[in-house]
A and B are shown apart, each in its own frame.
Chain A
C-alpha cells in the first residue's frame, strides 16, 4: 500500500501556541484516514497544514515536513495555489458561493483558465454526478446555489472540489452540521470517492470514523497518540487512552 503523503516530525505554532507536537504519520493513497480526538487536540490544525490554510494568517509557523512526490509541501518554494489545486477541502458548514450552481462548480476550473463552454459543461456535469447531486440539480443549474438544502449544498461543495481533480480531499467535520440522512449520503459518497482520491477526514463522530475510514489517528493536546488501521484502533488499540476514547469513557 502506497503512501501518498508522509507527515514527518511536524510541529505547528499559532504565534507562541505550540499546537502540533512532533506528529509523524503516513497517509495511504486511495484510502480514508480519520483524525479523531477531543476538541482542541489539534486534528483540524493538522488537517489545515495539508493545504497550508494556515498561511492566510500572520504569525503561524510550520516546522518539520509533509512529503508528497518527493517534495516537502511546507517548503517556501512550494506554490501554494498549485498545492491547493491538488488538495481540495470541504468545511464543516456548506460554503456555496453567491452564484449559480453551475458557476459554483466551474469556479475552480475557471481559475485554471478553462473557458471553453463545452469543456466546462462536461466537467461540471461529471463532478456533479460524482458528488451524487446531479439528478437533484440538473434542471436548475442556473439557479442560485444558496437556495439548495444544506445537504445538497455540501454535495455541491464536494462537486466543486472534485471538478479540479484533486489528489486529496480534506474533510473538516463535513457532516456534523447536516441531518442524519444527508450526512449518511455524504459518508457513502466519501467511500465511493476513494477510487479517485485520497481522503483525510476530521470527525467527532466515533461511529463515522469506524464505519468509513481505513486508517484512524487519535490525537491529544497536539500530539499523535496512536495511528493504525481502523479495525485495530477500535478493537485492540495499543494505548489505554485510545481504548478509553473510542469506547467513550473519556473525551
Chain B
C-alpha cells in the first residue's frame, strides 16, 4: 500500500514538472507570436509590398518589396540546388549504398549536420564564395541555404524510402524490373508524400534564416536580383531595421517579421497536414 502511494506521488510530481515545462515553452512561443502579431499587424501597410526601401526620415514612404523578392529568389535557388542533391543522395543511402558502412557514416554525419549553427555554414560559404570573388553575392547566400537544407532532405528521403517494405521492391524485381525502375516507379511513388513533406519543412526552416545570409548575399536597398551582387534580403533587413533608431523602420521590421512568421507557420502546418493525411490512409 505504501509502495503504491509512493508511486502515485512520484507519478504526480513527474507529471506536474513535465506539464510545467511544456507550459513555459508554450507560453514563450505564444508571447513571441502575440508580440509579432500585435506589433506586426499594427505596422502592416500595403506599401511594404509595393515600394522599395526609402530613407528613414521620410514618413509614409518606403517598403521592402525588393527584400521579399530577394529572399524568395535566394530560397528558390537554394531549393533548386539542394532538393535534387538531397533527394538523390538520400536515394543512394537508402538503396544502392544500403549495405555500405560508409553510407551509415554519412547518415550519422547528416544527422549531425542538421544541428550545425547556421552562422557557421554562412561563414563557410563566405570563405569559399565571397572571399575569392571579393564581393557579397547572391550565389553564396543561396549555396549557404542549400547546405542547410541538404542534410534534412537527405535524411527524410532516406528514412521515407527505407520505410517502404522490401517485399514491394522484390515484387517489382520479380517482374523483371531493373533497379532504377524499381526506385522511380515503386519506391519514390510510395514515399512521395513523405519526401515532399520533408522538402517543405526544410524550405520552411531556411525561409526565415538570417545568419547564413549576413556574410554571403548580405542585403541591398535596391531592386536588384542579380545573383553576382549583394541581394536584398527580408531577414537581414528585419535585423537592420529592428536595430535602427528610426520608429518607422522598426515598425516595418515588425510588419515584415509578422509576414515571414505567418509564411513559415503556413509551410510548417501544410507539412504536418500532409503527414496527417498520409497516416490516415
A residues engaging B (CB < 8 A)?
51, 53, 56, 58, 81-85, 87-89, 91-93, 95, 97-99, 107-108, 111-112, 157, 160-161, 164
Contact A91 B175 (CB under 8 A): no
CA distance A81 to B190 in the complex (A): 23
Contact B186 A56 (CB under 8 A): no
Contact A95 B167 (CB under 8 A): yes
CA distance A82 to B181 in the complex (A): 15
- Mark each residue of chain B from 132 to 174: 1 if its CB lies under 8 Å from any CB of chain A, else 0: 0000000000000000000000000000000001011011111
CA distance A95 to B165 in the complex (A): 9
A105–chain B nearest beta-carbon distance, Å: 11
Q: A91-B167, A95-B167 given as contacts; is B99 within 8 A of A51 (CB)?
A: no
Of the A-B pairs whose beta carbons lie under 8 Å apart in the complex, a sample of 6, sorted by A's number, is: A84-B174, A88-B174, A91-B167, A95-B167, A95-B171, A107-B172
Contact B171 A157 (CB under 8 A): yes
Contact B189 A108 (CB under 8 A): no
For A84, give its contact among B168, B173, B189 (CB under 8 Å).
B173
For B174, give its contact among A53, A58, A82, A93 (CB under 8 Å).
A53
**Given A51-B174, A97-B185, A111-B181, 8 new contacts (CB under 8 A):** A56-B173, A84-B174, A85-B175, A88-B175, A95-B171, A107-B172, A111-B176, A111-B177
Contact A81 B178 (CB under 8 A): yes
Q: Residues of A contacting B186 with CB < 8 Å? A: 97-98
For B171, give its contact among A87, A89, A111, A112 (CB under 8 Å).
A89
Residue of A whose beta carbon sits closest to that of B188: A98
Q: Residues of A contacting B171 with CB < 8 Å? A: 89, 91, 95, 97, 157
Contact A164 B170 (CB under 8 A): no
Q: A58-B99, A91-B167 given as contacts; is B172 within 8 A of A97 (CB)?
A: yes
Contact B175 A108 (CB under 8 A): yes
B120–chain A nearest beta-carbon distance, Å: 38
Residue of B whose beta carbon sits closest to that of A97: B186
A43–chain B nearest beta-carbon distance, Å: 17
CA distance A99 to B189 in the complex (A): 8
B108–chain A nearest beta-carbon distance, Å: 21
Contact A82 B176 (CB under 8 A): yes
Q: Residues of A contacting B176 with CB < 8 Å? A: 81-85, 108, 111-112, 164
- Mark each residue of chain B from 181 to 225: 1 if its CB lies under 8 Å from any CB of chain A, else 0: 100011001100000000000000000000000000000000000
A100–chain B nearest beta-carbon distance, Å: 12
Residue of B whose beta carbon sits closest to that of A55: B173
Q: A91-B167, A95-B168, A99-B189 given as contacts; is B175 within 8 A of A107 (CB)?
A: yes
Q: Residues of B contacting A161 with CB < 8 Å? A: 174-175
Residue of B whose beta carbon sits closest to that of A95: B171
Residue of A whose beta carbon sits closest to that of B170: A53
Contact A93 B177 (CB under 8 A): no
CA distance A83 to B173 in the complex (A): 11
CA distance A98 to B173 in the complex (A): 15
CA distance A87 to B176 in the complex (A): 9
Q: Residues of A contacting B175 with CB < 8 Å? A: 84-85, 88, 107-108, 111, 160-161, 164
Q: Residues of A contacting B170 with CB < 8 Å? A: 53, 56, 89, 91, 95
Q: Residues of A contacting B190 with CB < 8 Å? A: 98
CA distance A34 to B170 in the complex (A): 22
CA distance A157 to B190 in the complex (A): 17
A221–chain B nearest beta-carbon distance, Å: 25
Contact B177 A53 (CB under 8 A): no
A48–chain B nearest beta-carbon distance, Å: 9
Q: Residues of A contacting B185 with CB < 8 Å? A: 97, 99, 107
Residue of B whose beta carbon sits closest to that of A79: B176
A68–chain B nearest beta-carbon distance, Å: 16
Residue of B whose beta carbon sits closest to that of A144: B281
Q: Residues of B contacting A56 with CB < 8 Å? A: 170, 173
- 8 A Cβ contacts from B93-115 to A: 99
Residue of A whose beta carbon sits closest to that of B189: A98
Contact A89 B181 (CB under 8 A): no
Residue of A whose beta carbon sits closest to that of B177: A111
Residue of A whose beta carbon sits closest to that of B187: A98
CA distance A229 to B203 in the complex (A): 64
CA distance A160 to B175 in the complex (A): 8
Contact B174 A89 (CB under 8 A): yes
Among B170, B171, B176, B189, chain A packs the most CB atoms within 10 A around the CB of B176
Q: Residues of B contacting A97 with CB < 8 Å? A: 168, 171-172, 185-186, 189
CA distance A85 to B173 in the complex (A): 10
A145–chain B nearest beta-carbon distance, Å: 12
Closest 9 CB pairs of A and B: A95-B171, A89-B174, A84-B176, A108-B175, A85-B176, A81-B176, A98-B190, A98-B189, A95-B167
Q: Residues of B contacting A164 with CB < 8 Å? A: 175-176
